[in-house]
Structure 1
Amino acid sequence: MTVQSLVSLFKSSLNHYCTYPLNIRKRTTRAEYWPCFIAGLTLLCTLCVLCFIFSQLCIRYDSGICFLLGIIIYFALLTSEAVITIPTITALIRRLHDTGRSGWWLCISFTIIGYIPLIIFLCQKSQPTANRYGPVPKQRK
């Protein structure tokens, strides 16, 4: 894959992610789900690391500006998490629908080992025919 095709894939995925943030009645392909999931996870992990760094700096140097920056980054983390969580859950449900499973399968993630089958379900190919959750998603360009 070229860089241009990766960028266009990510743009298409982000467009789909932002267009249907609360709609669980559709299906989402792997190509539409994974780029935005990974980007959101990367953003949240980066903000967590920055929060940790600034908290350690505040403990070590007891600086007012460091404390202020830490608070700003912490609120950026909370805001990002609030903005990303709901669309991510609905995209996950749409992805489960694409594999022919109910969104209730998300509940297995509440157990410690439940993430393993959930990730396997999310990585599976789409059902090639229409299912009870809708028609086969078209490849978006």
Structure 2
Amino acid sequence: MGSYFDGMLRYFELSGRSTRMQYWMFFLIQFVLLVLAVVADYQLGGFAHPKYPQAPLTLFVIFVHAVPAITVSVRRLHDIGKSGAWYLLNFVPFGGVVLLFWACCASEPGRNIYDDTEPSRYEPRGGRPARQAQTTIPRAVRMGSGATRPPSPTYDGLSAPERFI
């Protein structure tokens, strides 16, 4: 249950990693809740009229879990060292098969470029070294670093007409 609640509490969080256990437990509990909602809607007569089915509980479960399902999948891709953009394979025929295979793969050991600032407490078994962060932006210039801007020889701190920004 903790893995499910972790996925729900990190509702809009695309950064970081989700382990295999977190990913599969989230989807298992989501599937069980969806089956229970369909059964409850059926018992309440929601599917009695085939032309106009009414399934409010099923729609509620789907809407509540739509965003967390995407974010958990993106974080799972980060955990194996892939970009979250690979999630778009869901829109390609048979792309979901590739994502299913990747969801079953072991985590990338140690830290990787998608880790948060604090190290992950999860350390999988294996001997692959973690990839280094690939960026051309110096750490002092990155947004959110809190560091001051490096001095520029052409900028004296006042507004200059030749300066664009």
Confirm or deny a common fold (TM above 0.5).
Answer: yes
> What residue identity is the alignment partner of 1:82?
F
> What residue identity is the alignment partner of 1:130?
R
Percent of aligned pairs sharing the same letter: 27
Alpha-carbon offset, residue 14 of structure 1: 2.2
Q: Is there any run of 5+ residues in structure 2 with no aligned partner, and where?
A: 123-165
1:42 maps to 32
Q: Distance in 2 between matches of 1:128 and 1:91?
A: 19
SS at 2:112 equivalent: coil
Are 1:15 and 2:5 counterparts?
yes
Moved more, 34-43 or 129-138: 129-138
Alpha-carbon offset, residue 51 of structure 1: 4.5
Alpha-carbon offset, residue 20 of structure 1: 1.0
Find the structure with the greater CA-based Rg.
Answer: 2
> What residue identity is the alignment partner of 2:121?
K
Alpha-carbon offset, residue 55 of structure 1: 5.0
Contact 1:29 1:137 in 2 (8 A): no
Across the aligned residues of Structure 1 and Structure 2, the Cα RMSD in angstroms comes to 2.4
* Structure with more of its chain in helix, by fraction: 1
1:6 maps to none
> What residue identity is the alignment partner of 1:95?
R
- How many residues align? The count is 118
- Matches of residues 1-141 of structure 1 in structure 2 within 5 Å? 11-48=1-38, 51=41, 54=45, 57-58=48-49, 71=54, 74-134=55-115, 137-139=120-122
TM-score under structure 2 normalisation? 0.62
Higher relative contact order (CA 8 A, sep 6+): 1
Instruction: Render the CA deviation track for 1:7-42: whole Å, top value 9, x for unaligned.
Output: xxxx32123112211111110001111111111123
